[in-house]
Structure 1
Amino acid sequence: WSSMSKFGSLLQRTWRLARGCSQTVRSFASISDIAVHPNIGRFSSELDLQFISRFDEPFLTFRVMDENGSILDPSLEPDISKEKCQRMYKTMVELNVTDSILYQAQRQGRLSFYMTNYGEEATHIGSAAALEEEDVVFGQYREAGVLLWRGFSLQEMCDQCVGNRDDSNKGRMMPVHYGSKRHNFHTISSPLATQLPQAAGAAYAMKLQGRQACVVCYFGDGAASEGDFHGALNFASTLDCPVIFFCRNNGYAISTPIREQYRGDGIAVRGVSYNIRTARCDGNDVWAVHKVMDEARKIAVSQKVPVLIEAMTYRGGNHSTSDDATRYRGNEEVSSWKLSNNPLARMRMFMERKNWWDEQQETELRESARTAIVQALDRAEKKKLPPIHELFTDVYEEVPPSLREQEQALLEHLKEFGAHYPTVS
């Protein structure tokens, strides 16, 4: 009873306070204009309950030229010089030939690992050619063509894959994990999708600095199934970060086809759900990729907002040298794509129609590219390996005692078993 009496007194005091306050009545202008929370604006309403799982209209794919290299609409004719067009094609071929040589080198035991870019050359060069040097790139592991376009040499590429003394990573990363501060290209990281939130953060910093540039983040459809993808898009959207998310949807997340990886209309619709401007393009059409990247950059730089691009392409080779794609897809499927939708063939036919390319130029280009990459690989293999002490550098400004102990233990181990390891200094 004592507790009840105290509770009654509390109610009486509360009532006396309430009588001195003005009464607030919440009303709605109409049933179609309802604000459910002061921080999230207004929503439209209806009287019919619906659970929506898809939109009636599919997300359309932007194209400029067909599979035969013909421009589909005269208004879409690329406004580009013969010199730039030839440079784009030469870089695509150079990437293709490089893949062939380095893939074979791995099979011969000269490299520990490699990943080809077969079938996706247009996504690299078409997008890279629309960017400016000051734009910052975060890649995944299949964007070597972007670096080649920016001036990364075949020698630098081979040095990294071999892991010699001239490797910018000092032999501490797997092959194809390129990086170049000189070319505004962040070093590739093995864990999937980690570059996405990093790119959003870099773009936010760029915005705060007032720089007239943007960040471009490349990733695959498999990475879009990681949580980092959603976190990155949400950060970029809410903070208005000038970042372009470029998804290479090549149909497979290693061995998982997209029909088993997700439901819904691809990756593009996810951008719209985060209120991000989004476009889908034919990733094997170099001019479609170039156009959409050019427009996306204008939006990102001028309006300081994110953009999402989904480029529909196809992975023509194995996921990596550790993969055997014949275990999960047939040769007929691969051959069909190579014959009917090859980005190199489409680009070449476009150039031949304009009398910008011929068979002799093609032969000379492929021979020179092959010679250049073979010579670069030979030089890379002859270079010394990085010094052992580099295993412990570039992490702490002052090396802690724990790492010094590990280094000493390693040196003692090499004194006893050094004959079993490659020659190091």
Structure 2
Amino acid sequence: MQDRNHLARVSTTHKVHVIENGLIDIPMLQILQPDGSVHKEAVAPELDQDTATKMYNTMAYIRVLDERMVAAQRQGRISFYLASTGEEAAAVGSAAALSDDDMIMSQYREQGALAYRGYTTEQFMNQMFSNEKDPNKGRQMPIHYGDKPLNFMTISSPLGTQIPQASGYAYGQKMAGKDAVTICYFGEGAASEGDFHAGLNMAAVLNCPAIFFCRNNGYAISTPADEQFAGDGIASRGLGYGIKTIRVDGNDILAVYAATKLAREIALKDECPVLIEAMTYRLAAHSTSDDPTGYRSREEEDKWRAKDPIQRMEKWLESKGWFDEKAAQKLLDKTRQDVLAAVKQAEKIDVPPIEDIVNDVYSEVPWHLKDQLEQLKSHIRQYPDVYPKTSGRIK
């Protein structure tokens, strides 16, 4: 029987060796240069015009959606929002490389992946306005999307919870003999959570076909990366767990697509996890509750604006003869109109029945939740002006 103890694979030395942090230099895959041209040493992935156009249009759509929803939050129309400005290529490029049967487990900045799969503006709005058409019945904060038909697991607020869940789900896919993987998105800040280490170790030991996709966008809210960890980013941690690892330019949508496509092939063929670290930058605030001017400079932001993933892909499309500036502007104007119209429509739809707060947990609502519901109804009746949408529907 083969010796399964790891010591059997360790080489021997007779002198003290101190392994330093910089021993391994993990390169970053880049195909598109900032000016949109393909690097002379790079090979662009094979993309047909329809797929490339869909990828570009999805990024442009998300940029508009983010702008409008941040404005809606500032106007008091929704309570909270997280924009993905500057990171669109990471979500859209990776989603484009997946099969529709692959499960997506998101953090909360991957609206591009969901839109690429076909989530509509109306669905985005119903969730963010927590109205009666919201599949979560108004019990989640805005941007906590989920869609079973699109294989997009509902987002959870606590950081890192989806990482061990992705390992378990991918293990289940393997046991069921499915030709599918699970991709799990998270930021470099979430990689400081214990769930990151437990999830990656589980996937490595059990050979789970999972893609762990880290968006290293430079900041965990206001904490810069160099104050979070001293190692070589997140990629080095994958190697530490025995996981095949790729580092990629997260603002280069062709590189992200190529890296994810290869990662998926490896995960299925070798029945193993793959870690992708996408080096990008969050141009927006962490959320609408955050002010980035308190912890980073305008000069730093401007430096990264020059690497805008949408502009980079636009220049590449132009070089292929696949970009029509007038048509793109017309589509952009229509998108703005459609998003604004959807905002106005969604905020007119009634909120879910108050009873939905206690439904769907137990087969029968227990007495203590019934008592709490009645107390809540009594409170709303007492202050109808504070709860105008709800008070008129309570008997």
| TM bracket (short chain) | over 0.9
Q: How far does residue 74 in structure 1 lie from its aligned partner after superposition?
A: 6.9
Matches of 2:63 and 2:354, distance apart in 1: 34
Matches of 2:368 and 2:210, distance apart in 1: 39
- 1:323-364 CA-to-partner distances (Å, cap 9, x unmatched) read 00000001111111102x110010000011111113212311
Normalised by the length of structure 1, the TM-score is 0.89
- 1:223-254 CA-to-partner distances (Å, cap 9, x unmatched) read 00111100000000001111100000000000
Q: Which residue of 2 aligns with 1:181?
A: 148
Q: How far does residue 412 in structure 1 lie from its aligned partner after superposition?
A: 2.4
Matches of 2:6 and 2:41, distance apart in 1: 47
Q: Does 1:133 find its partner at 2:100?
A: yes
| Unmatched runs of 5 consecutive residues or more in structure 1 | 1-34
Matches of 2:41 and 2:197, distance apart in 1: 38
Matches of 2:151 and 2:17, distance apart in 1: 48
- 1:140-171 CA-to-partner distances (Å, cap 9, x unmatched) read 00000000000000111011111111111111
- Aligned counterpart in structure 2 of residue 271 of structure 1, from 234, 238, 244: 238
Alignment partner of 1:419: what SS? Answer: coil
Alignment partner of 1:423: what SS? Answer: helix
Alignment partner of 2:215: what SS? Answer: strand
- Aligned counterpart in structure 2 of residue 423 of structure 1, from 382, 389, 395: 389
Amino acid at match of 1:164: N
Alignment partner of 1:218: what SS? Answer: strand
- 1:2-55 CA-to-partner distances (Å, cap 9, x unmatched) read xxxxxxxxxxxxxxxxxxxxxxxxxxxxxxxxx9x9565331111111232324
- 1:120-149 CA-to-partner distances (Å, cap 9, x unmatched) read 010011000000111001100000000000
Q: Does 1:348 find its partner at 2:332?
A: no
- Aligned counterpart in structure 2 of residue 237 of structure 1, from 198, 204, 222: 204
Alignment partner of 1:181: what SS? Answer: coil
Matches of 1:41 and 1:402, distance apart in 2: 58
Matches of 2:136 and 2:7, distance apart in 1: 46
Matches of 1:78 and 1:42, distance apart in 2: 37
Alignment partner of 1:292: what SS? Answer: helix
Q: Does 1:205 find its partner at 2:164?
A: no
Q: Which residue of 1 aligns with 2:356?
A: 390
Q: Which residue of 2 aligns with 1:358?
A: 324
Matches of 2:195 and 2:20, distance apart in 1: 23
Structure with max Cα Rg: 1
Q: Which residue of 1 aligns with 2:137?
A: 170
Q: Which residue of 2 aligns with 1:372?
A: 338
**4+ residue runs of structure 1 moved beyond 6 angstroms?**
none
Q: Does 1:115 find its partner at 2:87?
A: no
Matches of 1:57 and 1:138, distance apart in 2: 30
Alignment partner of 2:245: what SS? Answer: strand
Q: How far does residue 269 in structure 1 lie from its aligned partner after superposition?
A: 0.6
Distance 1:276 1:39, change over 3 A: closer
- Range with bigger deviation, 156-165 or 73-82: 73-82
Matches of 1:400 and 1:370, distance apart in 2: 46
Q: Which residue of 2 aligns with 1:12?
A: none
| Unmatched runs of 5 consecutive residues or more in structure 2 | none
Q: Which residue of 2 aligns with 1:88?
A: 55
How large is the RMSD of aligned CA atoms in angstroms?
1.4
Amino acid at match of 2:182: V
